[in-house]
Amino acid sequence: MNDIPLAGTAPKAELKWVGTRGPRPDGLDKVTGRARYGADFRLPGMLVGRVLRSPHAHARIRGIDISKAAALPGVKAIVTRDDFRDMPSEFVPAGEMMVNYRDIVRNVMAREKALYEGHPVAAVAATSASIAREALSLIKVDYEVLPHVIDAAEAMRADAPLLDETMITAGVDPAPTKPSNVAKRMEFSTGDLKAGFAQADFVIERSFATKPVHQGYLEPHACLASVNEAGQAELWCTTQGHFVVRTHCAKLLDMEMSQIRVIATEIGGGFGGKTVVYLEPLALALSSKSKRPVKMVMTREEVFLSTGPTSGAHMKVKIGVRKDGKITAAEAELIYEAGAFQGSPVGPGCMCAFAPYEIENARVIGYDVISNRPKVAAYRAPGAPISEYAVECVIDELAQKLGLDPVEFRLKNGAKAGTRALYGPKFGPIGLVATLEAAKNHPHYSAPLGPNQGRGVASGFWFNIGGESCASLHINEDGSVTLMIGTPDIGGSRASMALMAAETLGIDVAHVRTLIADTDSIGYTFLTGGSRATFATGMATVDAAKAAIRQLCARAAKIWEISEDAVVWEDGHAKPAGQNAATFPPMSLAELAGKAGKTGGPISGHAEINAQGAGPSFGTHIVDVEVDKETGRVDIKRYTVIQDAGKAVHPGYVEGQFQGGAAQGVGWALNEEYVYGADGKLQNAGFLDYRMPVTSDLPMIDTVIVEIPNPAHPFGVRGVGETPIVPPMAAIANAISRAIGTRLCELPMSPPKVLKAMQAHKANGG
Amino acid sequence: MRYEAPETIDAAVALLGSVGRARPLAGGTDLLVQLRAGIVEPDLIVDLKKLPGLRTIAKEKGGFRIGAAVTGAELREHPDLRKVWPGVVEAANLIGSTQIQGRASLGGNLCNASPAADSVPALIAAGATVTIIGPGGQRELAVEAVASGPGKTILAKGEFVTSIFLPARPPRSADAYLRFIPRTEMDIAVVGCGVSLTLDQSGTCTAARVALGAVAERALLVAEAGAALIGSKLDAAAFEKLIAAARKACRPIDDKRGTKVFRIDIAGVLAQRTATIAAERARGQK
Ligand SMILES: Cc1cc2nc3c(=O)[nH]c(=O)nc-3n(C[C@H](O)[C@H](O)[C@H](O)COP(=O)(O)OP(=O)(O)OC[C@H]3O[C@@H](n4cnc5c(N)ncnc54)[C@H](O)[C@@H]3O)c2cc1C
């Protein structure tokens, strides 16, 4: 590819659009109610789809009798396990994820067993919601109720009820002879652990526990499927990745991908939880049977009962330091709950645990454990917030032990360019140290604290990913630009893409409109996740714009009758260069667009890439808490998020990501948890009793964007969407421990637990 | 399911007594939620909001008569009510959010009979009474006698509450309500506490009523807790007794919203804090 000098590659100071805070193109429709989310689509003749869910945490399904329901007038289709082909147990790539279709087919519809309360057992499509509801009550399921197990530590015991009688722990040599609920053991190690701990002057070892927490997206899962007599399907759904939905549905329903068109609707939050399929294959199957469009929308209760939270965990962390503050060795054992099927994010949990530090001798062992609760799904930086919470608490305690400022202690051991991470690669330019320096110098860090207040700090790391993305950019006759991409916009990425396209083309961003194209209208694009959209699709966008520019230059060359490489693109204009410089007046993009018909036809640029070189993002959070000494209630008084964005394409949305991560982290730290009864049933499947923070629980969250450019991206972008949820739990735990003089090692740090810890501390003479 | 909005008390009584499963409707912020969740399936819903007196606040015998369907927002905006009964008004205003405040009523909060209902401990502490009308005529009852257990009241078939009466107050009287929730709003009380008291010119407490919510199957009037304050200058010793009496009265359960031990602990803390606020308000009066 011949390289054309572009504004987009110019130094930061010369950027005109990237880095500005323009209005959000999707904002108007969202605040006026015009935007169409998953549940807003309807078609003539549409049926209502409803799911019958297991009332038991663990039960063998001996039989399902649908005859009465099928006979009910208005019922047009019913599907059960018999409508889905069984799949072999193997992990196959789906985009950048590894998935096991044996498990997916069982999660969308229970087969041999119901493995959690809320596990789908049948689905009905009927002419009205009340008929559908009545039909569900007429389906007779013959359950043999089995003993259940909810918590991973209990699920690991030899006498625990087995969810899958064929599960032999992988990663253990020699392989165990008996099945268990432990799906997998993994180990990452470097250096000599024993020697490392021998060099330490102090060693701290602590056990931690965290609870599963739900992503809490405001919009429940929803879709509308329409399959015609020829087997051609259309599917509207709220998803982070419509191509991934297509892949899964095609596989589960034995359809060719070309027969399914998936349209990603406007999305009301996902945070990782909308990267999997739940309703979509059921709606397609029901529509295929009834030959009528079928719409399915979950209730909030269904969202809590049957969609993926992230793992709860039990962890041990041990770190040794010399008196001079250098970490000599670190060790961790992580047990993550996967829910009913294997595949917790314990792998990334292991890889991230010690990633912010340069540690010569380290080992992390992880276990992936199944139990009778919904299968976990991705939740911002899956796995990392859990293990890094435990590690960052021990780091804080070590700093206290050494009498060192916690930021200084981190600076002494922090990862830098050239540090080799425990999971393999050497870091390129990274921003941990820059965020720590920014924290140290932030007025928040030196502000005085009031009575019963404490200040905590924690750092966090997430890899970020690249991967497959396409972009297709059309220069319209009037010089405006339509940009089509395949990553659904959750955090404002349409605006960011428009900014990058405008910068590259040298035109006003107001003339660029970004659309999320459906699966038939653009090439395969992996989902919005892994903080990849602005990085990878951004790269594709810049490439597509460059491809269009090459055409624009060629058209100008044709008009001027000079050679193509004698034309450069500057400031939105083609200009003659070299010996032809200034021989013709520059031609604007709009002029060239207007003449396109006469110079060779429409002008477009497109790019299909597998983006490499994603830049990890580090962050450091500072938080002040005030603890009510009589009730244990924790109030967040002040919060500052500092994170390396590489380059903030739209700083406002980057700040939004920072603030959102901190807000979700506050919930995870203080109050969010699933409350199960002795019967294995969830007691708080709703926002009233699953206590996510409300606006008045939070202070205005302050942000600082650090920019250490990622050399692999034309504008230096790193992903920013996930790292913000990594540090909050430890930062808050560290703040509470400094406020009350004793440490809690279990999340959530809800008032009863904080009060108990303070009372125990007092009883021990604290 | 049928919906009726009668305009006379007699018509309402007749309707409520006529059908098997009939339910009064005030703001609907409990009833509609329960309908959607399939918890209640009435055949008839009788909207009380068009009945005379159900939506007005009137001065009576130096006190206030509040229609059972008056909303939280209307209570807050009344020019005199919050001066005399700040605790009752702050309790009612804790219910839900701005949107809920436009609908939620004292009558609904009381008759929904949640042990955690916010306005009920404040009304009990205030010594409020309710007027009940039904096929058998009209009767008056103390607020603490209305709920009998979670979701249950002593109201007979066809009966409903028409108004709540807050009595006249002697000088140097005030009330307060506090609840404990893990969040700052949109939550259900883990413990609620209402205190109403009167001081004499020397600052000695001459009357006190203390009520607790969410620590038993219904809101409790804790006579011993009130007695702990009466005759004292609301000093540390009196507060010690208050805390002990409040904790002793609790008979909570462990549930998703809080543990037994925690609730008992917090009941004492809230009793002291609420009494302190009520005392400050009473002392602040001329
Ligand atoms: C989002 C949300 C937040 C909430 N937060 C709180 C809170 O913080 N604290 C709290 O205490 N409650 C809370 N609630 C519950 C509810 O808002 C209150 O209990 C409210 O006071 C109910 O009043 P209403 O007029 O809406 O009652 P309705 O829903 O109309 O009625 C409630 C019940 O009482 C019966 N009823 C109503 N009026 C009468 C009458 N005059 N005589 C006899 N029976 C009658 C009805 O048949 C029904 O059974 C919340 C509810 C929601 C939806």
Distance (Å, rounded) from C-alpha A502 to C-alpha A496?
Answer: 10
Residues A163/A111, Cβ–Cβ less than 8 Å: no
CA B134 / ligand 1 centre spacing (Å)? 20
Mean pLDDT confidence for A72-76: 98
Would the pLDDT of A13 be above 80? Answer: no
Nearest to A631 among B183, B259, B269 (CB): B269
Task: Kindly identify which residue of chain B lies nearest to residue A671, measuring between CA atoms.
Answer: B182
Find all residues with CB under 8 Å of A738, minimum gap 6, and list them. Answer: A454, A455, A456
CATH says A383-464+615-763 is which class?
alpha beta
- Where are chain A's structural domains? 27-35+466-611, 383-464+615-763
Q: What is the pLDDT of residue A1?
A: 33
Q: What is the pLDDT of residue A340?
A: 98
Distance (Å, rounded) from C-alpha A427 to C-alpha A433?
Answer: 13
Is residue A267 very low, low, confident or very high in pLDDT (cuts 50, 70, 90)?
Answer: very high
Q: What is the pLDDT of residue B20?
A: 83
- Sheet with A361-370, edge to edge strand ranges: A182-190, A361-370, A327-339, A313-321, A202-210
Q: What is the pLDDT of residue A582?
A: 85
Residues of chain B neighbouring A684 (CB-CB closer than 8 A): 256
Interchain proximity A688–B261, CB inside 8 Å? no
What residue has token string 């909001």? B49
Neighbours of A741 (CB within 10 A): 12
- Sheet with B63-67, edge to edge strand ranges: B57-60, B63-67, B160-166, B129-134, B137-142
Q: Which of A692, A696, A699 is nearest to A623 (CA)?
A: A699
Is the distance from the beta carbon of residue B24 to the nearest atom of ligand 1 less than 6 Å? Answer: yes
Domains of chain B with CATH codes: 50-166 (3.30.465.10), 173-283 (3.30.390.50)
User: Taking the alpha carbons of B267, B268, B273, B276 in that order, is the dihedral positive or negative?
Assistant: positive
pLDDT in tens, A738-759: 999 999 999 999 999 999 999 9
Is residue A438 very low, low, confident or very high in pLDDT (cuts 50, 70, 90)?
Answer: very high
- Whether residue A134 lies within 8 A of chain B, CB to CB, comes out as no
Q: What is the pLDDT of residue A6?
A: 42
Is residue A321 very low, low, confident or very high in pLDDT (cuts 50, 70, 90)?
Answer: very high
User: Taking the alpha carbons of A648, A652, A654, A658 in that order, is the dihedral positive or negative?
Assistant: positive
Interchain proximity B180–A675, CB inside 8 Å? no
Question: What is the fold, at CATH topology level, of the domain defined by A27-35+466-611?
Answer: Aldehyde Oxidoreductase; domain 4 (3.30.365)
Is residue B17 very low, low, confident or very high in pLDDT (cuts 50, 70, 90)?
Answer: very high
Per CATH, A27-35+466-611 and A383-464+615-763 having the same topology is answered yes
Q: What is the pLDDT of residue A517?
A: 98
Which run of H or E residues covers position B279?
A: helix B260-283
Provide ipTM, 2 decimals: 0.95
pLDDT in tens, A177-222: 999 999 999 999 999 999 999 999 999 999 999 999 999 999 999 9
Is the distance from the beta carbon of residue B31 to the nearest atom of ligand 1 less than 6 Å? Answer: yes
Query: H helices of A44-167, where?
Result: 67-71, 101-108, 129-138, 152-155
A530: left (phi over 0), alpha (psi -120 to 50) or beta: left
Q: What is the pLDDT of residue A384?
A: 97
Residue ranges of chain B whose CB lies within 8 Å of a chain A CB: 180, 182-188, 190, 255-259, 261-262, 265-266, 269
Average pLDDT, chain A: 96
Q: Among residues of chain B, what percentage have pLDDT more than 70?
A: 100
Mean pLDDT confidence for A7-29: 79
Is the distance from the beta carbon of residue B44 to the nearest atom of ligand 1 less than 6 Å? Answer: no
pLDDT in tens, A497-536: 999 999 999 999 999 999 999 999 999 999 999 999 999 9
Residue from B260, B262, B264, B269 to probe the interface with A (highest A Cβ count within 10 Å): B262
Residue A655 is encoded by which pair of tokens?
């700040």
Task: Kindly identify which residue of chain A lies nearest to residue B184, measuring between CA atoms.
Answer: A697
pLDDT in tens, A277-288: 999 999 999 999
Q: What is the pLDDT of residue A5?
A: 39
pLDDT in tens, A327-365: 999 999 999 999 999 999 999 999 999 999 999 999 999
Q: What is the pLDDT of residue A3?
A: 38
Mean pLDDT confidence for A639-648: 98
Q: Which of A668, A658, A664 is nearest to A620 (CA)?
A: A658
Residues of chain A neighbouring B265 (CB-CB closer than 8 A): 755
Interchain proximity A751–B265, CB inside 8 Å? no
Residues of chain B neighbouring A752 (CB-CB closer than 8 A): 258-259, 261-262
Is the distance from the beta carbon of residue B111 to the nearest atom of ligand 1 less than 6 Å? Answer: yes
Distance (Å, rounded) from C-alpha B11 to C-alpha A358?
Answer: 80
CA A689 / ligand 1 centre spacing (Å)? 17
Interchain proximity B182–A633, CB inside 8 Å? yes
Would the pLDDT of B198 be above 60? Answer: yes
Neighbours of A442 (CB within 10 A): 16
Q: What is the pLDDT of residue B286?
A: 56
Neighbours of A169 (CB within 10 A): 18
Would the pLDDT of A313 be above 70? Answer: yes
Q: What is the pLDDT of residue A12?
A: 47
Mean pLDDT confidence for A121-138: 97
Distance (Å, rounded) from C-alpha A435 to C-alpha B148?
Answer: 59
Is residue A2 very low, low, confident or very high in pLDDT (cuts 50, 70, 90)?
Answer: very low
Distance (Å, rounded) from C-alpha A371 to C-alpha A392?
Answer: 27
Q: What is the pLDDT of residue A700?
A: 98
Mean pLDDT confidence for A73-89: 97
Residues of chain A neighbouring B187 (CB-CB closer than 8 A): 688, 691
pLDDT in tens, A676-718: 999 999 999 999 999 999 999 999 999 999 999 999 999 999 9
